[in-house]
Structure 1
Amino acid sequence: MKIWNGFGTEHSMNLAMVGHFKTEVDARHALYVIDRMKEAMAAEEKGGRFSLGNHNREFSGELLKVMDEVNMHSFGYNDLEQFLYEVDATVHGNQLVLATDEVEVLGYIKVLLHLDAKIEMYSKHVHPHGSDI
């Protein structure tokens, strides 16, 4: 048996992003929008219309319908891919907390900004309260 040890520059981002909203209803609506975009992108991938790193340059009719439904029209191709990444989203009162190991989160930032959130971002590796969220 051979054991391989190696080092690389890749590491987890361990990112926390907190959207502060006026009300819990607003935070839950933001979670709904994110969930709908995740569902839509999963359907795009399953239908062969979108794959990681290989973007179709046209949005499908189905995807455009979801974007209309959630009133989000500012996504680019790279933003949409991010909804296929692993991101945990939970509501705590009037806050929507997103946790991920990804560094590409502009799609999520666009949702939060569009829905009038104040955004706080930090690495849970160094933030003193990172494990509290």
Structure 2
Amino acid sequence: MDLKLIGHFASTDDARVARDAIAILTEAAELERDEGRLEYGEPPQMFSDRLLEAMSDTGVHSLGHADVEQFLYDAHVEAQDADVVVRTEEIDVLAYVKVLIAKGARVEIYSMHDHDSAVLMSDE
């Protein structure tokens, strides 16, 4: 897909907090996978204490069981000034959207195949 998600935040600090939340949730998902509790295509029936703690620590409580797997997909996440940019070949990106919105972002998503320029949204 070559998708690009951009979460626009009010400040650089807000963007860093969102990027860090994604990193914490990704690490928790990876540990779940490594310990055999999370497999591709088989969402967990219940959240482990580790996943619940990660959601609580990040203040992201809107993730569903099927969303957690998305943090295992190959994605590049970085903070650029007051933006968080996520690049991935995956189509399932709702987990990232949920984190960005929960952290206060205005979000845009587009295919880099069709739009390879910089930020598309106009300031309102």
Q: What's the TM-score once normalised by structure 2's chain length?
A: 0.91
Counterpart position of 2:91:
103
What is the rounded CA distance, in whole Å, between the counterparts of 2:65 and 2:33 in structure 1? 13
Instruction: Tell me the CA shift for residue 128 of structure 1.
Output: 4.2
In the TM superposition, residue 32 of structure 1 has moved relative to its aligned partner by 0.1
- Residue-by-residue CA offset, 1:31-75 (whole Å, 9 max, x unaligned): 000000000000000111111112220111111111111111111
Aligned to 1:90: 78
Residue 38 of structure 1 aligns with an amino acid whose one-letter code is T
Unmatched segments (≥5 aa) in structure 1: 1-12
Aligned residues, how many?
118
Query: 5, 9, 15: which one pairs with 2:3?
Result: 15
The two structures, once aligned, show a CA RMSD in angstroms of 1.0
2:19 to 27, 31, 55: 31
Unaligned segments of structure 2, at least 5 residues: 119-124
CA-to-partner distance for each residue in 1:80-126, whole Å, 9 max, x for gaps? Answer: 11000011011111011110000000000000111110111111111
Q: Distance in 2 between matches of 1:127 and 1:107?
A: 22
- Does 1:60 find its partner at 2:48? yes
Tell me what 1:73 maps to.
Answer: 61
Is 1:115 the counterpart of 2:94? The answer is no
Cα 1:82–1:122 change in 2 (3 A) is: same
TM-score for both structures, normalised by structure 1: 0.85
Larger Rg: 1
Q: Which residue of 2 aligns with 1:44?
A: 32
